[in-house]
Each structure stands twice: as structure tokens, then as C-alpha cells.
A and B are shown apart, each in its own frame.
Chain A
């Protein structure tokens, strides 16, 4: 059943955030996310998130990169078979250098693609149920509840020393 109310507790203290998150797990309210100005390891641990998959994109990019780099060099060299400085047409070492640089380049492309896809960005949807203070000094914890539980949730946050910001609900949501 659709939740109606989105309520964000804005904390100034990392510790309070964590306790709030812990408490939410046992509460009837549903935890959605935390918006933090910095990557907080404690909070991450508290949410015990699993490892990001970005690395796989990077790896693939790298592998593709090396072979395309080396391949390009090797392919072009064999079009005319021009001898330079008495070196072999297929000169491995120089081509490895080309391969290396391409590895880095493509790995980074992979990495960027990985990030964008994983973080689902660019996407303005993130800005829904968001408070600008979260990029400043506040840690925002967003949770939802049924309409009737609204006050309860707000109290829940206040008790833990947060300012409360509640959003107008809308039928379809949840990013």
C-alpha cells in the first residue's frame, strides 16, 4: 500500500543520525535514505550497504582498452609493412605502451559510465523529498509513513534532536 507521508529529520550530528537509523529499523516507519554532505563511513556501516558494482565497469573498460589500443597499433603497422630503423613491423614494446594508455583511458570511461548508471544520474528525481541544507551542515534522514502516523514520525525525529521537514505527499513516488 502506498505511503502518503514523507518526512525528513535533519540532524547536525552524525551519531544521532546513526541512532535514528538504527531505531527506524525497529519502528513502524519505513526508512528511505540518508542525505549527507560528506561520505560518512559510520552511517554507511550502520546501513550495512553492500559493495558498489562500479568496479566491474572500470575493469571491463580497462580490458577493452588494452586490446583496442594494442590492436590499433598492430593493425595499422601491418597495413604497409614499412620498416623503420630496422625494427620489426610488429614491435611489441611500443605497442604495449599504446595499449597501456588506452587501458587507462577506457577504464576511466568505464568508471564514469559505471558511476552514472549506478547512481542513476543525471536525474532531477533525486531532488524530490530533498532539503538543500543536506549539502551544508545537516544530515537528512528520510522516512515515510501512513498519513495517520505522521505525528508519530515527526516526534520520533524530534526526540532524537532533529529538525523535521515534512513533504506534501503525491500518488506516485519512490525513486
Chain B
């Protein structure tokens, strides 16, 4: 959808909602006899809103059909995600439609929950708050990261209850980064990074493509930085013991021993100083640092880190020569002393390399910085008892799960004289311990505002009617927590929506209806303040010195464990979304399960084999997990993804996988106050049992086939690459699915013509980061069935588009990603073998699959060299109300028929109709299949190959262009561009 249409539609939608719909709206979710003005049956309405699946706060457009949201897409106008969305954002829908979403409040009476009506629940809450008001300091509120307006309301509410302000809980609170910023830049917050402006990027584990701060934003910024320029390409080093998806996209993954990142960072600082960087800084700082860093020499590093000297020297050399270098610290959850120290060192390094810190933005800081340190959270729970707190309100967070390695939280919540209220829509671990669970409306159903960055207004509006009668949190709070004489009651507001408008008008001058509607239409107020308020202070030198001095030489532990944030489940809030469980991990290609990943060397040393179940014991806990072997972690390290293994979730879908957090220290780090996601001195033992892993990758490597190809920068630069003209796999030419692609030398049959359009796609492997957003979008758009762990073990996953992962056979630590979907071949092998013409070639070059005609001989999939066809082995189920999410424009397939990627033909048809009405041809880039639309890095381009001027057609002339297994001469309409690698 291009910008204009978006504005048209979104405008139309929001206007009417703005006028017709209040938060009391009681819109029903069945087809209406008289539809509201904006609802044209069969025509989608688009509502601009904001994604709340993680604190990044991307802008979204919710596609509403007949009163229900069926798809989420990025908001093209939004400065954070620029119209793109990650897999978690796509899956937000399944939160709203989740069958286990609580429809009514639950009240715990002698240990058992019983349902209440919302009015009963709210009055119950009111009585409690009234009770709490009698004394002072009786109530507490723990909330997720929320928007400015709601935060204000909550703060006022607690103030009115004469209790301390609400505490913001995030399992990833970036304590060490904040503290390091405080030490070095004198700012206890989270700057944002202009990765796109850097010419050299060194990351010490920041997984900015997965969960770190704002993944979608940093994904496109990273690709902007890492894009192939005319002759060069900027370099990205990833220094970390666990590769992670981000590391997989680095030009060089510098694998270092666990805990040695700080040594590396400090050695670099030392080097920078000796290279006389940061002259502009105060001499004293330089002096003191130089002395303090005396110990952190190159040799000391090389001994302890396992990094090869050449690699290190090259890196140093590049870093020192770089004109616009940017160094990022460790990943989301690194607040152990090593992580903290690394952060400090990284900040110093940035400071030295660029005293002006051009690539750090202290104005547009990440909202998540408001999250409390883990130390404070622990204090919060510990003081519940001592302060005789009577009422604890928890808004949509799950501390019990996030802090599952000890019972502090559990015990605190279980205390009989504490009344715990959970504003949660699911029965999660925390809710299970609450006395009252009061579901509130979910972000897609409410009015709200959430600016992912300072000064950014990003609005939320109800994109659909309510599925439950849950009230808005703001309304609950304002009814429950304010005494009649509180100042808030003097605001001219009846509902939270009014309050919101009032606050926005107040803070951002959205003063009149028109401005408000405009804001809603475009999803927010995006003109960020451009005045760099320089809140920076000079480094707290002596604190830093103390820190460095305080470093005790930690003896390397034989086995280390680290829990890594997962691109699929974030901190666990995504774990009950079937799509996120079903779509396998981008790197390990395992769905549903949480294996413990270790290096084959480690396994051999402990004579463990893949799929053995091993017992893992740390000082803090133990669990049993199946083993997955991978070269993507260093020897001596075990790692598991965070997010799964919820005991409280009550169906098998949600409780799948394991929870590695049990193995971690419950303590907060002394300096940073953060959590430590690593755990040393791990013991593993074989249990003798094994477990089949639900992997979707049949092979690690591609066995020398022309599937995921790469080309070195050098090769690319010397233009004299001889044109391929042979018939073998090696040098088969690019044969476009057009008449010009045919040649009597190769083709028995003459070419066939198409009618004005010949749809095709270009996949730039150099841009693809393998995040899997495309795959999720495809599930959402095309009503693809969820088969579950058991069926995936049987090899029956239904993904129309999957991002295949191949290790490079001679360097197993290198991986390549290959988005693989139906190639819509011009000579499709699947077509002629079907006895009933179910698959055939359309006038516009699509490989049509006619579900009603298919009788299920399954010959087509047998004959498909790309194995992209999927068979409905059973009739897949969509438990109510998940069925409401189904896209009405796409048939839901039943058992016994074959299906596959259709290039989102429903979108092509829609574009046809629009073009027809406007009596023109479909414009270039007017049609965007779901995958293309959501790709955070623009790796996918779709269009008409017959139009010589079209975007896709031009890209096919790229010297990197090739077709997967092109030598089969199937003439795929999906053209891949080789990944560009550089030897460094």
C-alpha cells in the first residue's frame, strides 16, 4: 500500500472511530445488519496504532475487516519502524484472539479462582483501595513500561493513596547500560544510537536485531549502515561467546571466551589511548585511564579470551582508522560484572573515538529507561512485608516468571494479608498468585499513547470492537484510586480517553479536534524535538578507576551457562502465541522446544550427543533439557533461549519449552543493580533419556548446491566476471521467466506470453537478516494452519515461506539465510504432473493452486525441487476466537489438499480492482505481499518483471542476481541477489 492510499483509508477509519467510538463502545463482533458508515463489507479499514509487544513502541496499522482486526502492518509514517514489523509485532493479534484470554475477572476464594462480573470486580477493588486510603503507604503498583499519560495517571493515583509512585518492571531493564551511561556520560538513561551513520560497527553482544532496545529500528538502521555501496561495504564486528542472530549478520563473529568481552573492550580503550585518540578530552582523564588500564594489555587479552592475534590486530587497525566508528556494548541481559565493565569500557571507547559522540542520541532516549533496576524490584518485594502493604496492583507484567530462580516474589505475593490485583489478560505465573485477576482491555482495543522515544507521541486507538467487556486500566484506576477531592477529579474528563486527549493537548499542543484526528490518522505526532539538549556530564573518573581497580581476576569456569533473550518470545510474553512457537528459531531451526545449545566440542568432552536429555545444575537451580549441537556458541558454554516453559499457562501450546531463568542468580549486581543472565560453574550429567528435536532443517549445509549463494566483495569489484552460458549447476545463466529467458540451446519448448504482468520477486540475501518476520506475516495473511510440536516432529510444518538456514560447510560458524517460498517458475515441474490441472500457470505468470480442484495425489510436492508445497494432512483447527483473525480474502484449506505461496494473489487482485476503477495499470511497488510489506530491511522486492522500468526488473540486471537451482531451468520468478561477504 503506498503512502497516499494509506492516508486515505486510515483517515477514513480513524475519523469515524474518533467520532463514533468511545472506550465504552460496545461494538459486537458479528456481521451487522446496519454497518457503521466506515464499514464497507469486503473493504478493509485501517487504524493507526502502536505496537505494545515490547517497549520499543513501533507504529502499526491494524487492518479491520467487518469489525475484526485480521492483520497488523507497520505504519509507514512512523519514525521508529518506518512501516516494518518484527515477528512479535505480527503475532500481537494472537494475544487479542487467544482462546485462553480471560473473559471475566477471577477472584481467589480459599485458594480457588471463581469468576466475577466486571462490576463486582471493580467494586471489590474500590473497597480495597478505600481501605488502603485509610492508612498511608499501604498500596503499591508494579507496571510494565507504559506511555507518559498513563504513567502520570498511575503516579497521581498512588500519590492520592499516599503511597510511593509506581515501579516499572521490565525483565530487560538495561541496568548495566544505564549505570555505565551514568558513569561515563553522567546520564542515567538509555541513549539511542545512529547505527545508520556509522562506518564501522563493533558490538560486544548487543543483539539489536532481536530484542535490544528497538530491534526493528536498529534492523533497518543496521542495513542502512551495512548496505553495499558502489565499491565498499561498512564492517560489523560482533564480539561475543554466543553468536546470536545479530552475530550471524556480522562480517566477522569474534568468538571470545565467556566473560572476556570486558578484557577486549578495555584493551581497545587502552589501545585508543595509546593511539592518542580523544585528544579533546581532559588530559587528567587520559592520564588516569592510561594508568588504570596498565594491566589490560593485548597479551593479557589474548591469553584469556581465545581470540586470535590476527583477528584482534585487524579489528584494532580498522577501529583506529574508522572515520565514524560506533561501539555497542553487551546484549540485552548482560548485567554481570563483565557485562557492566564492558558497557563502561564501550562508553569510554566511544568517547575516545568520537568525543562529540555523533552516533549517540541523548535527546531521543528509549522509553524503557524508565524501567526500575532489578535491585529496586527486589527491594520493592522485600519491603512489601516490612511496610505492611495491603494492596498490590500489578499491571500486565510477570515478575514471578522473570525472577523464577528464587521465591522472594512468590512468597511476597502469597502473604495472606496482602491483596494482590493483577491487571492481566492471561493466567500467567504472577496472575496465578493474585487474589483478584482483573482483565483490562488490550492495546489493540483501547485509547492510549505510547512514545517509544522521548518526545515522541504515538497513539493507540481501538482498531476493533471489544471481545470482552474488560474496562480500560485508566478507567479502573481513576475510579478506584482517586478520592473525590483529588486534583485529578477536577480535570474535565469522564473517561480515560478524555484524560488522554486532555494530557496530550496539555503536553503536545494537540489542542483541537482536527489536530487530534490528524494525530490519530498518522498514528502519532512524529516531529521530534531537534534541539540536542546536552545533558551530558564529564565521566566520573574516580568511580571508574575504583571499578577498574576492583576487578578481581575471575578464574575461568569450565562450563558456563547463559540465557539469551529470544527474538520469538522476548522475555516470555510471546510464549503463548502459536505463531511464535510454530515458526522455528532463526538460527537453530527448532520449533516449540527450548533445547540447550552447546558446541560439538563441549558435547564430545562430556560424551553427550545431540538429542540427549541432560541435567544442568547451577548454584541456583537445575533443569533437564535436550541437547542441540551448534558451532554458533564457543566451547565450554551452554545457552538456552528465554521465554518458554510457563507452568501456569494451562494448555500444552503455551507451556511448551523450558525456562532457563531457573538457573540464574536471583541477586542483583552490586554496581549496576541489574540481573545476571550468566551462571558459572555449571555441572551437566546425562540422564540417559533422549528427546527428538522438532527441527525443520533437514541438513546443516547445502552440499554444494546453488541455493544460498554469496560473493566476496573482491569478486564483485573486478567486473570481468565471465557471463555464465553453460548447462551445469555451476555456470547456468540467469533465465528470466520471460520470452527473453528462453534459448533453443536450452529449451525444448517455445516461450509463452503473459498478459501485461509477469509477477516476480527479488530477494536480496545481502539485506536479509533472517529474522523471520516475513514468515510470520505470511502465516497471518494466508490463514496457514498451526500444526504443533508433534506434527512438526513428523515433518508436517505448513509454512509457505520459511527462512532456511545453511551453515557454510567449510566454516560451520558462518551461516547464510535463504527466504524460500514458491518460486512461481515459468516451467514449474509441479504443474504438468498433476492429473487434474490443480496447479497451473496463470496469465500473469503465477503458479496457481486451485484448492477445490486438488485431489491430493501429492505428485506436485514430490516434483518440486524447492519443496515449498505444503499438504493439509489433516483439517487444522483454529480454536475460537482465533478463527476471527482469519483473512476473509483467503480460503481456509481443509484436509487432503495441497497449498503453497500464492504471491498473496488476493492483494494482486485488490490492486487490479483499484487500477481498473482508476482506469490505469497497476503501478510499480503498488502490490506488496505480506512478506515484502513487513521485511524490516527491505530485502524483498515484488513487482512486474514484464515492465522493463520496474524496480524488480532493474534489480534482475544486478551482477549478483541468480536463481536457486537455476540449472534445472525451471525459470523461477524469484530472483536472489547473492550475499556479499568480505574477508576481514
Contacts and interface: CB of A to CB of B under 8 A. Distances in A.
Q: Do A and B bind each other?
A: yes
26 contacts: A80-B837, A82-B837, A82-B840, A82-B841, A83-B752, A83-B831, A84-B828, A84-B831, A84-B832, A84-B837, A84-B839, A84-B840, A84-B841, A85-B827, A85-B829, A85-B830, A85-B831, A85-B841, A86-B751, A86-B826, A86-B827, A86-B841, A86-B971, A87-B749, A87-B832, A88-B750
Interface string B128-154: 000000000000000000000000000
B754 to A, nearest CB: 10
Interface string A79-105: 010111111100000000000000000
A103 B135 CA distance: 101
Interface string A57-96: 0000000000000000000000010111111100000000
Interface in B590-628: none
Contact of A86 (B752, B834, B837, B839): B752
A39 B839 CA distance: 55
Contacts of A85: 827-832, 841
Nearest to B863: A85
Query: From DSSP, what is the main secondary structure of chain B's interface residues?
Result: loop
Contacts of B749: 86-88
A86 B831 CA distance: 9
Of A80, A83, A87, A88, chain B has the most CB atoms within 10 Å of the CB of: A83
Nearest to A83: B841
Contacts of A83: 752, 831, 840-841
Interface of A: 80, 82-88
Given A85-B829, A85-B831, A88-B749, 12 more contacts: A82-B837, A82-B840, A82-B841, A83-B841, A84-B831, A84-B837, A84-B841, A85-B827, A86-B828, A87-B749, A87-B832, A88-B750
Nearest to B842: A83
Contacts of A80: 837
Interface in B807-843: 826-832, 834, 837, 839-841
B753 to A, nearest CB: 10
Contacts of B830: 85
B868 to A, nearest CB: 16
A118 B718 CA distance: 83
Of A80, A82, A84, A85, chain B has the most CB atoms within 10 Å of the CB of: A85
A82 B749 CA distance: 15
Contacts of B832: 84-85, 87
B976 to A, nearest CB: 21
Contacts of B750: 88
A86 B971 CA distance: 10
A85 B833 CA distance: 9
Interface in B831-860: 831-832, 834, 837, 839-841
A86 B830 CA distance: 11
Nearest to B840: A82
Interface string B354-374: 000000000000000000000
Of A82, A84, A87, A88, chain B has the most CB atoms within 10 Å of the CB of: A84
Contacts of B831: 83-85
Contacts of B751: 86
Interface in B15-62: none
A17 B548 CA distance: 125
A82 B828 CA distance: 13
Contacts of A86: 749, 751-752, 826-828, 841, 971
A72 to B, nearest CB: 14
Contacts of A84: 828, 831-832, 834, 837, 839-841
Contacts of B752: 83, 86
A156 to B, nearest CB: 67
Nearest to A76: B837
Contacts of A88: 749-750
B839 to A, nearest CB: 8
- Top 3 A-B pairs, shortest CB-CB distance: A85-B832, A84-B831, A86-B827
Interface string B738-756: 0000000000011110000
A85 B827 CA distance: 4
